[in-house]
Amino acid sequence: MDRERRDFIAAATMASAVTGVGASAAPGTGAIAQGLTQGHVPKGDLLKPALPDIGFATREPFLDRERARRILTEDGLDAMVVGEGRNVFHATNFFPLLERMSMIASTLAIIPRDPQRPVALVIPVFSYYYIQADDGPVPGVQPFVFTSPRPGAAAGDVVVYKLDGEPPAREQNRRKVLAAAAPYHASMEQALGKALAELGVARGRLGYDDSSVAQLLTRAALAATLVDADDTPRRIRLVRTPAEVRMMKLASEANVTAAHATIRAARELGSVRALRQRFFAEAALRGNLGVFMVVNASSSDAYDEPLRDGQALMIDCVSHLRNFHGDYGRTIFFGEPNKRMRYCTDAMAKTWGELQGLIRPGMCFSQVRELGTTTLAKFGIDVPVTFSPHSVGLAHTDQPRLNADGSRAEVIIEENMILSIDCPLFETGAGGTAHLEDLVLVTRQGTVPIHDTGTPTYTV
């Protein structure tokens, strides 16, 4: 047990060095909680966020145009028209704010098969002024701005900054970027039609990712052939560009250090719900937003139970940094676990350590699952663990479900994919629950973790 504790302290120290905030997380939160009970927050007890530099994401496109050309050709499409937020974001580096307010297809992106033509961003004028102008369009993206519900509006009609005197630098830049996007279109349909015509695909086979996009295309492109192709964008982004890999590493490192900080506070927190909420707070301090956390095999946000001595408790932590997801699973021991649980977690770690060096480009996901089973057998281990791969990126499970012909997709592993291999223990009882999960980058020689892996288990 002493060795486990030393391993945890070493891993926690390393995690703290990455962000500069983790080590004081548990004491700080205790002081904050006490202050809130008294009706105030004590000065100096709030932790300062440690935010990564993601400025490159406003300059480097995420979309691989050559891969998009190949996938669109395989799927028989002249262009892909997307309105779902993560698809628009991957195509243009712009995430529609209205999507976060439940409005799908408030902004569109058109990816033409021809990589010599730009990606079109069909965007409302206010979103372009108020959001996109601050980032600036990435290379290879051409805006088509529309002004409805105020058809025919000029640039000055959407300017928010009305104070007297010289506008500040940001406002001057917003007006410059907005003026450069003229002429404007009176409606989304008109902007969409203009974009399709300029890209030379108005009479082609157009894939769409949502029924609302199909309705818009029906009105804007009367001569086009429309194809339901919501898995095509997932096929395109299975292989990550350098900018995406960089974002994934930042997201994953923040996700892992948030998990480590949460583990350190586990005894003080004392319950399933408190542990989950603490992870979300720790993720936010590092620039990530919480997505979900499985605690002790429960994903329910309402369910709660106390944490107790002697139990093993699995955590599966997911958060995202500007839509790029981290995914990390570990087992926490509250004191010394029983012998069976120690045996199971050692078996999971030994098998995963062997398996990650065997994964190669060209394998399919089903082969990875089989490899996990045969590796367990090779070691003579009788533990109910599955080894289930999934692609992680702009979603926890970011991979196609169906092929272009409607058959079930069997994902083939390619170099520069980022994978999770879920290793949950399908055995519960007095010993508790266990899990092991890392994110790995596929190389020609095998896989390499994209974050500090620490240790498979932590004792608190």
H/E stretch holding 330 = strand 324-333
Q: Where are the domains of the chain?
A: 2-34+241-459, 63-236
Question: How far is Cα 391 from Cα 324, in angstroms, rounded to an integer?
Answer: 12
Any residues with CB less than 8 A from the CB of 247 and at least 6 apart, and which?
54, 57, 62, 321, 322, 324
Tens digits of pLDDT across the chain (460 residues): 444 433 433 333 333 333 333 333 333 333 323 332 333 333 444 477 889 999 999 999 999 999 999 999 999 999 999 999 999 999 999 999 889 888 999 999 999 999 999 999 999 998 999 899 999 889 999 999 999 767 666 656 666 666 678 888 998 899 899 889 989 999 999 999 999 999 999 999 999 999 999 999 999 988 999 999 999 999 999 999 999 999 999 999 999 999 999 999 999 999 999 999 999 999 999 999 999 999 999 999 999 999 999 999 999 999 999 999 999 999 999 999 999 899 989 998 999 999 988 999 999 999 999 999 899 888 888 888 888 999 999 999 999 998 888 899 999 999 999 999 998 888 777 678 999 999 999 999 889 999 999 999 999 9
**Model pTM score:** 0.87
Alpha-helix runs per DSSP H in 136-271: 169-180, 188-199, 211-220, 232-236, 242-264, 266-269
Please check whether residue 364 is in contact with residue 339, taking contact to mean a CB–CB distance below 8 angstroms.
no
CATH of domain 2-34+241-459: 3.90.230.10
* CB-CB contact of 321 with 287 (8 Å): yes
Q: Are 450 and 441 in contact (CB under 8 A)?
A: yes
Q: Would you say 287 and 399 are in contact if contact means Cβ atoms under 8 Å apart? A: no
Rounded to whole angstroms, the Cα distance separating 182 from 143 reads 9
The superfamily CATH assigns to domain 63-236 is Creatinase/prolidase N-terminal domain (3.40.350.10)
